[in-house]
Amino acid sequence: MKIIVTGCAGFIGYNLCDDLLNIGYQVVGVDNFNDFYDPNRKLNNFKELSIKHQHKFDIINENVNDTNCFEELDDVKAIYHLASRANVRNSMKHPVNYVDDNIKTMVHILDCLKKRKEAGKPVPFLIYASSSSVYGSNEEVPFKENQKLNHIESPYALSKKVCEEFALLYFKLYGIESAGMRFFTVYGPHGRPDMAPELFLTKIYLGEEIQKFGMGDSKRDYTYVGDIIQGLVKVMNTKTLCNVYNIGNSNTTSLNDFIKLCEKIVGKQAVIRQIGKQLGDVPITYSDIGLAKDHFGYEPTIDLEEGLKKTFEWLKPILDSKLNNSSE
| The predicted structure's pLDDT at residue 323 | 83
Residue 156 is among the residues annotated as catalytic for this protein? yes
Mean pLDDT of the chain: 94
pLDDT digits (tens, 9 = 90+) for 81-103: 999 998 888 898 999 999 999 99
Nearest-angstrom CA–CA distance, 178 and 125: 6
pLDDT of 259 > 90? The answer is yes
Beta bridge partners, 272, equal 210
pLDDT band, very low/low/confident/very high, at 305 (cuts 50, 70, 90): very high
| The predicted structure's pLDDT at residue 126 | 98
Nearest-angstrom CA–CA distance, 75 and 69: 12
| The predicted structure's pLDDT at residue 327 | 63
Residue 212 inside a domain? The answer is no
Residue 257 inside a domain? The answer is no
Q: Which residues contact 137 (CB under 8 A, 6 or more apart)?
A: 151, 153, 282, 283
Q: Which residues contact 220 (CB under 8 A, 6 or more apart)?
A: 184, 185, 252, 253, 255, 258, 284, 285
- Judged by phi (left if over 0) then psi (alpha if -120 to 50, else beta), residue 214 lies in left
Q: What is the mean pLDDT of residues 205-218?
A: 94
Residue 42 inside a domain? The answer is yes
| The predicted structure's pLDDT at residue 280 | 80
pLDDT band, very low/low/confident/very high, at 246 (cuts 50, 70, 90): very high
Residue 49 inside a domain? The answer is yes
Q: pTM for this structure?
A: 0.96
Q: Which of 14, 135, 156, 224 is catalytic?
A: 156
| The predicted structure's pLDDT at residue 35 | 83
Residue 102 inside a domain? The answer is yes
pLDDT band, very low/low/confident/very high, at 287 (cuts 50, 70, 90): very high
**CATH label of the domain that carries residue 117:** 3.40.50.720
Q: Contact at 8 Å (CB) between 78 and 6?
A: no
H or E, element range at 108: helix 104-118
Residue 86 inside a domain? The answer is yes
Nearest-angstrom CA–CA distance, 156 and 99: 9
| The predicted structure's pLDDT at residue 78 | 97
pLDDT of 254 > 80? The answer is yes
Q: What is the mean pLDDT of residues 67-81?
A: 94
| The predicted structure's pLDDT at residue 55 | 81
Domain tally, the chain: 1
Question: Which position has the higher pLDDT, 321 or 145?
Answer: 145
Question: What is the span of the domain harbouring residue 103?
Answer: 2-191+224-250+285-301
pLDDT of 325 > 80? The answer is no
pLDDT band, very low/low/confident/very high, at 36 (cuts 50, 70, 90): confident
Residue 327 inside a domain? The answer is no
Picking from 69, 104, 70, 68, the residue whose alpha carbon sits closest to that of residue 84 is: 104
pLDDT band, very low/low/confident/very high, at 328 (cuts 50, 70, 90): low
pLDDT digits (tens, 9 = 90+) for 123-143: 999 999 999 999 999 989 999
Question: Which position has the higher pLDDT, 316 or 34?
Answer: 316
